[in-house]
Structure 1
Amino acid sequence: MKNIFLTDDDIDDCSMFSDALNEVYTGAKLTIANNGLKLMEALEQTVPPSPEIIFLDLNMPFKNGFECLQEIRKSPIYQDIPIIIISTNSNNDIVEKTYLHGANYYICKPSSYSILKKTILYVLTLNVKQLQQPVRENFVINVA
């Protein structure tokens, strides 16, 4: 069973992600945090095993995705957890900033449910070695 965290302040996006995940990958436990502060609290309270992957939105209240990314990468306990940025922002400067701060991949939030399902399935079928940060040219995932 994969232990997956999703951090996003948009309730509709969380619901759609959860539904899509359940359709394409039934062996997953999804923990949802609606802001970065809740993510960091959930990580501190998590009894092993830690999440195998974190899907992280950037624009959130209280603690944004950039702050979470930096905090996780500085933590000796959590620094190796793959982090997939999932954001509506496709600005190249933002993508570059997340790459430089150690995100493993970047996904622009898919425009359709079917593409979201394909994207989640693609990410979850990557092996651990493939989840390591790729060269910059392969950093953005686009399965459309």
Structure 2
Amino acid sequence: MKSNLRLIYIVDDDPDDRQIILDAFLEKSPQIDYVFIENAETLLETLYAAEVELPALILLDLNMPGMMGLHALKEIRSNRLFSQIPVIVLTTSTLHQDRKTSYELGASCYIRKPASFTELVEITDAIVKLWLHEYQPQPSPPGGKKNMAGD
């Protein structure tokens, strides 16, 4: 299986939160594909059903009805097919133990949901730049040649 480098799964039980997160991503990254997933059980079912392409990234809420996000994270990390997918925990939890456990289970990053939409746009833009390699082209130095070590 290969990863679709332009696909993000947004896993959150709150439809308003899912839409706000999507809106924040779309502000700066409209070229990315997004799939909404309402809970951890559906996330795992979707991953197991993905026969050809996996997401480039999973944005995972922790506190959801049914299976908690931490349980899904543990299962993702224990499956060799999914273990390399970056999983970013995006949650309202302020508990130190949730952060600690998320990292112990293999979260790529733990982010508390911000209070403002502007902050969320900054966070989603950073996520795309860091994990999906959507960097803006850098201008070439004068003369048009990039100076690299060993040149």
Q: TM-score when scaled to structure 2?
A: 0.81
Matched with 2:15 is 11
The Cα shift of 1:27 comes to 1.3
Larger Rg: 1 or 2? 2
Q: Which runs of 5+ in 2 are unaligned?
A: 134-151
Structure 1 unaligned segments of length 5 or more: list them: 130-144
Moved more, 7-16 or 120-129: 120-129
1:46 aligns with 2:50: yes
Residue number in structure 2 paired with 1:74: 78
- Residue of structure 2 in register with 1:98 after alignment: 102
Q: For residue 48 of structure 1, report the CA deviation from its aligned partner.
A: 2.5
Match of 1:22 in 2: 26
Distance in 1 of aligned mates of 2:114 and 2:132: 23
What CA deviation, in whole Å up to 9, does each residue of 1:93-126 have, x standing for no partner?
1100111110000010011111101000001101
Q: Name the CA distance, whole Å, in 2 between partners of 1:41 and 1:109.
A: 25
Look up the match of 1:110.
114
The DSSP-based 3-state class of the residue aligned with 2:34 is strand
**How big is each residue's C-alpha offset from its partner over 1:19-75, in whole Å with a ceiling of 9 and x where there is no partner?**
111111011110111110111111112242210000000011121101100000001
Equivalent position SS for 1:111: coil
Q: Give the superposed CA RMSD.
A: 1.5
Structure 2 vs 1, CA of residues 63 and 98 (structure 1 numbering), >3 Å: closer, same or farther?
Answer: same
| Structure 1 residue matching 2:82: 3-state secondary structure | coil
**Identical aligned residues as a percent:** 31
1:118-133 matched pairs, under 5 angstroms: 118-127=122-131
